Amino acid sequence: MQKRPIILISNDDSIEAQGIQYLTELMKTFADVYVVAPQQHQSGMAHAITFKVPLRAKCICEEENLHIYSVNGTPVDCVKFGFDQLLLNKKIDLVISGINHGSNSANSIIYSGTAACAREGAINGIPSIAFSSLDFSEHINFEPYKPYIEKIVKHVLEHKLDKHIYLNVNFPKPEKNIKGMRVCHLTKGLWIERFIKEHDPRNNTCYWLTGEYHNEEPDSETSDEWCLAHDYIAIVPVKVENSDEKSIQSLSSLNTL
């Protein structure tokens, strides 16, 4: 009898989010699933961890092939908790994050808690995938994504990934006529941001962060933003390693004996 793979699932939209519930239902049909997700919405937390206050975990479901916990911490706290408290002596086959309600393409992965969950998996040498949808709405029809999720997950389980690499996967809105999938690169660009100054009901000054993304390569057909704009699912392999080999050479004159 073939052993069922062990999959750890997390997100940054909270344990109550529709995206993680859909993923859980899909994965538990063929895998032993461990879900650890934040109690509350934690978008934009990036790779933040909690160490100044204690973490508390709540068991929501404990069945033979399904284990669900919520944690009062960040997305990465949840993944770390899963590794240390639920799966310490088990071989984890895959870490999955999402499905996020909202895009995590281009340099949004720097700020994304969804991407951070997959990055934490890759840091620990575990094949990892972050799934996100361009649809920000609370209720999404995820069914159009199902065959693509299954194909990506099956491929990673069978072929693994290079060590310390994770996949950042973004879906067009589900009502689009999805043309297929493309492996591509993160779009070069930046967020042009500003703060909107307002006053609260007590006339105290407050600020709201807003902005828009500036695409520096709008015509690049190998970028994730182009793929999504043309109704393709964008799959980006992302490295955990951030050091730049070229700069190491060009800055070698700074080396001292």
- This prediction has a pTM of 0.94
Q: Which letter does DSSP use for residue 102 in this model?
A: S
- Burial environment of residue 170 by CB neighbours within 10 A (0 to 12, 13 to 18, 19 or more): buried
Could you tell me which residues come within 8 angstroms of residue 134 by beta carbon, excluding any fewer than 6 positions away?
102, 103, 170, 171, 172, 173, 228
Q: Is the dihedral of CA 159, 162, 165, 169 positive or negative?
A: negative
Q: Which residues of the chain have pLDDT under 70?
A: 1-2, 257
Q: Which pLDDT does position 240 carry in this prediction?
A: 94
User: What domains lie within the chain, and their CATH numbers?
Assistant: 6-186+218-243 (3.40.1210.10)
Q: Which pLDDT does position 1 carry in this prediction?
A: 54
